[in-house]
Structure 1
Amino acid sequence: MKKRTFLKLSSSLLTAPLMAPLVSWATAEKLKNWAGNLVYSTDKLYKADSIQQVQDFIRKQNKLKVLGTRHCFNSIADSTHNFISLEGMDEVVSLDTTAKTVTVDGRMKYGQLAPYLDEKGFALHNLASLPHISVAGACATGTHGSGVKNGNLATAVSGMELITAKGETRTLSRAADGEAFNAAVVHLGALGVVTKVTLDVQPTFMMRQYVYENLPMEQLKDHFEAIMSAGYSVSLFTDWQKHRINEVWIKEKIENGGTATANPDFFGAKLATKNLHPIAELSAVNCTEQMGVPGPWYERMPHFRMGFTPSSGKELQSEYFVPRKNAVEAILAVEKLRDQISPHLMITELRTIDADDLWMSMAYKQPSLAIHFTWKQDWDSVRKVLPMIEKELGPFNPRPHWGKLFTLVPAQLQSRYEKMADFKAMIKQYDPQGKFRNAFLETNLYS
């Protein structure tokens, strides 16, 4: 199988009246997620262009889910009944320069929002490696970037508006709603349809990026914190071979227009002499600029360019969060499986995420290391490897990313979240009949 990292986004949805299917699966190709590994379970897909249409549709349905940008690798967003799309609701609602917040529609993508904010003199605290994901969807699953002092993307949320199972509008804010707000931000699609999100912003800034090659794995034992704190955001890429980290990506915030010269050596790794792709065999043409070239924050924090439409290809993804205090032990535990992992792997990325107070976040109450696997699209092989990884990480009580592939049994998964019972009580309050519950939620939250 030819290695490729990121995949062609699914074709734009066809426009249609709210109560008419956008596509007929009897005559058209079935809807899939962006990786192509998941075929969605219903042909009933509806489009809403206003909050009123969202409310009307919710009131008429017994079961439904929101179909977003389709960047989940598992069935967390699947439905056997009805989908609603908010594709037409993707505008900036307001920018409050005094409060330093921006409010956006639920379908706004980071790739749309970031240039707008920068033009207005503002920035977000972090971005994921790929900018083609929606704000609401990313926050709902605890998606993240990297940085020892950076929380996941959902930690920027200061307010949200959602439509409940009764079709009622609820607004929640960090300032007014306390723990109820902390419960609702990473909501897994279980509380309702998010129609607006308010994010904290900060003054815009410039960044530069350097890449180092072949960091000896041994250096992590004594210098892990120093390595991961070497920039505003740091990512380590490894194929688990040769007892080394293939590439270290260091993204630095430029303070006061300062200039810098990179050290040619970084804990035994050597400064790259050209732009690199996380997978060495692939061209770096669509990667964000490296070699210390200054650029806006939104053109350095992702690994891939904003204007880059992901190339066609296929992959699977898994990711596990462990406490950062156990990071080196967890990395070395996974490394022991290199012979089992490598035949099915494209690359692994290691990132740090700061702790937060969001109940269902993978980083709830613990600074974390995220171990991310980009697999070849061979589920039969990957599903045999995942239990091995989960067993090796077992002593560290790993929390899998909600939108990626895992085989952890529900009882273990539920035990990793101390607010699980409280979250399910909130689901019952917002959705007493289970209108937004699907097979994924039934299995992983209730079985």
Structure 2
Amino acid sequence: MSQQNWSGNIRFRARAIESPADLDQLRRIVTDNERVRALGSRHSFNDIADTDGVLIDLTRLNAPFEIDVKSRSAWVPAAARYAEIASAVEDHGLALRNMGSLPHISIGGAIATGTHGSGDGNRILGASVTGLEIVRADGRFEVLESEDPRFAGSVVGLGALGITTRVRLDLVPSFDVRQDIFLNAPWDEVLAGFDAVMGSGYRVSLFIADWGTDVVDQVWIKSVVGTTNAEAVLPAGVTAERATRQIGPIASGPTDSVTPQLGEPGRWLDRLPHFRRDAPPSNAGDELQSEFFVAREDAPAALAVLRTLAASISPVLLVSEVRSIAADDLWLSGAYGRDTIALHFTWRNDPDGVAALLPTIETALAPFDARPHWGKLSATGGGASVDRYPRGGDFRALVAAEDPAGRFTNEYLRRVLGS
């Protein structure tokens, strides 16, 4: 089994990787080892999953799906990929409210790191979670319900509170989506009508290949078929040409892995992600990623600042993506307490070049209280102090209460918790 992450920039130091088949085996692995960490789909770009102890792979764990059509909810394995979950709930006429760009990631790792989809009315992926099944540091098995005061601090839990085995999700009726792409939208027009642009579909993404040009290279609009905003048009005052062929976020790259575009309606699970469930994702791992979250009202100014850094960014950039996220109450969510714009960077696989650039970007974004994505690269290597978040102190206290001996701790957590 591979002991590196998806892009190969992190080699795990674990002395063993264990794959329990049942809950009793999992509990023994946890209590028999001084240090343990859960291993997801390895899509984090920093050392959040690393440990010098034992990594636990949950893909063999007996953690069944339980889908309740009447209540529109489902218990799903934490190790399940979003593609698998989406297919299972679609078979019952149900849907996830949102998905990330990649359907290949596991739900346990996605929610623990605050991973998100996008859309003015859509919160991060973890906001659809209503229950967690967790093995604690002492081997105790606990079902944590959304009414529990610890719950909002446990969904985006950074792997610090236990090994999550199953997740309960709130679902909606299945729906159809179309996807339309617009090219070369002038920056001045996009910034002048920024809120209208970002609200022109169920999900909207801006893709920037070069921050130094006068245009946003691509605007992706995903619209729910049959709703009032299903026309898939840019707002008045924004001039751009509608794409007439399939195109990927990296315009010069292959298009066989992207989900169908050109306004062709399809089920939600085949349109909400950028990449197909049955094809290798994105740049096939030959990349690095960073992402920063700023308040919605600060986004135009933050984007303008990034444009001044184009000469420094361009040598290591593959593509950037700008998305909107609705506010939530999850303690360590990048969108905690504020409607948010996510500023994403897919970098060339150049660790030294990216590491040299990130302090410059973070200094430029500091006036906007930019929060780094927990699972991606930042100036510190990954993550940020929990004190950057209003409930960060409460999270630190929660970790101390649930794992007083530090069984789930690692270098990453020592950085972000400050101990």
Relative to the length of structure 2, the TM-score reads 0.95
| Structure 1 segment 36-185 matched on structure 2, within 5 A | 36-89=8-61, 92-174=64-146, 176-177=147-148, 179-185=149-155
Match of 1:299 in 2: 270
Give CA-to-partner distance per residue, 1:140-185, whole Å, 9 cap, x none.
11100110110000000000110000000111111x31x3110111
Aligned partners of 1:188 and 1:362: how far apart in 2? 13
Instruction: Write the distance in 2 (CA, Å) between the matches of 1:232 and 1:411.
Output: 29
Shift of 1:138: 0.4
Q: Which amino acid aligns with 2:105?
A: I
CA distance in 1 between counterparts of 2:270 and 2:63 reads: 21
Alpha-carbon distance, 1:44 to partner: 0.7
* Counterparts of 2:397 and 2:232, CA distance in 1: 54
Cα distance between partner residues in 2 of 1:378 and 1:215: 29
| Structure 2 counterpart SS, 1:220 | helix
* Inter-CA distance 269–307: structure 2 relative to 1 (3 Å threshold): same
Secondary structure of the 2:90 match is helix
Q: Quote the Cα distance in structure 1 between the aligned partners of 2:140 and 2:229.
A: 51
Once the two structures are superposed, residues 41-69 of structure 1 have per-residue CA deviations (whole angstroms, 9 ceiling, x without a partner) of 12311111111111111111111111111
2:400 maps to amino acid: K
- Name the SS of the counterpart of 1:280 in structure 2: coil
Q: Deviations over 1:220-242 (max 9, x none)?
A: 33200000000000000002131
Out of 202, 211, 214, the position equivalent to 2:184 is 214
The superposition leaves residues 312-369 of structure 1 with CA deviations (integer Å, 9 ceiling, x where unpaired) of: 4511000000001101001111111000000100000000111100001111101111
Query: How far, CA to CA, are the matches of 1:346 and 1:266 in structure 2?
Result: 29
Name the counterpart of 2:296: 324
Give distance in 2, aligned partners of 1:149 and 1:188.
25
- How does 1:5-24 map onto structure 2 within 5 Å? 13=1
Distance 1:201 1:266, change over 3 A: farther
- SS of match in other structure, 2:159: coil
Distance 2:321 2:383 in 1: 27
Distance 1:362 1:40 in 2: 26
* Counterpart position of 1:281: 252
Q: List aligned pairs for 1:274-423, cutoff 5 A.
A: 274-310=245-281, 312-408=284-380, 413-423=385-395
Out of 221, 228, 234, which is 2:204 matched to? 234
Write the distance in 2 (CA, Å) between the matches of 1:205 and 1:297: 6
Alpha-carbon offset, residue 259 of structure 1:
8.0
SS of residue paired to 1:381 = helix
Alignment partners' CA distance in 2, 1:86 and 1:410: 24
The amino acid across from 1:287 in the alignment is V
Asked if the contact 1:90–1:106 (Cα under 8 Å) also holds between the matched residues in 2, the reply is no
In structure 2, C-alpha distance between the alignment counterparts of 1:261 and 1:99, rounded to whole Å: 32
Query: Residue type of the partner of 1:364?
Result: Y
Name the stretch that deviates more: 91-100 or 320-329.
Answer: 91-100
Evaluate the alpha carbon distance shift between residue 162 and residue 277 of structure 1 in structure 2; reply closer, same or farther with a 3 A threshold. same
Query: Are 1:254 and 2:225 an aligned pair?
Result: yes
Q: Secondary structure at the match of 1:288?
A: coil
Indicate which of 195, 199, 223 corresponds to 2:193: 223
Greater Cα shift, 143-152 or 34-43: 34-43
Cα deviation digits, residues 64-84 of structure 1 (max 9, x gap): 111111000000110111111
Residues 159/273 of structure 1: CA separation in 2 closer, same or farther (3 Å cut): same
The 8 Å contact of residues 265 and 271 in structure 1, kept in 2 or not, is answered as no
% identical aligned pairs: 39
Q: Secondary structure, in 3 states, of the residue corresponding to 1:126?
A: coil
Alignment gaps of 5+ in structure 1: 1-12, 14-29
SS of equivalent to 1:194? strand
Match of 1:20 in 2: none
Q: 1:54 to 1:272 in 2, by over 3 A?
A: same
User: Helix, strand or coil: the match of 1:154?
Assistant: helix
Structure 2 contact 181–242 (Cα < 8 Å) conserved: yes
- What residue is the counterpart of 1:200 in the other structure? 170
CA-based RMSD of the aligned residues comes to 2.0
Superposed displacement of residue 421, structure 1:
1.3
Greater shift, 215-224 or 357-366, is seen at: 215-224
Going from structure 1 to structure 2, the CA distance change for 1:414 and 1:187 (only over 3 Å counts) comes to: closer
| Distance in 2 of aligned mates of 1:242 and 1:250 | 21
Distance in 2 between the 1:139 and 1:313 partners?
21
Q: Deviations over 1:192-219 (max 9, x none)?
A: 0001100000000000000000011112
Residue 442 of structure 1 aligns to a residue in which SS? helix
Deviation at 1:414, TM superposition (A): 3.3
CA distance in 2, matches of 1:122, 1:42: 39
Matched AA of 2:308: K
Q: Deviations over 1:363-386 (max 9, x none)?
A: 110111110000001111111111
| Unmatched runs of 5 consecutive residues or more in structure 2 | none
- Label 1:90 to 1:147 Cα distance change in 2 as closer, same or farther (>3 A): farther
Q: Secondary structure at the match of 1:248?
A: strand
**Aligned equivalents of 2:371, 2:379: Cα separation in 1:** 11
**CA distance in structure 2 between the aligned counterparts of 1:39 and 1:163, rounded to whole angstroms:** 26
Instruction: Label 1:59 to 1:255 Cα distance change in 2 as closer, same or farther (>3 A).
Output: same
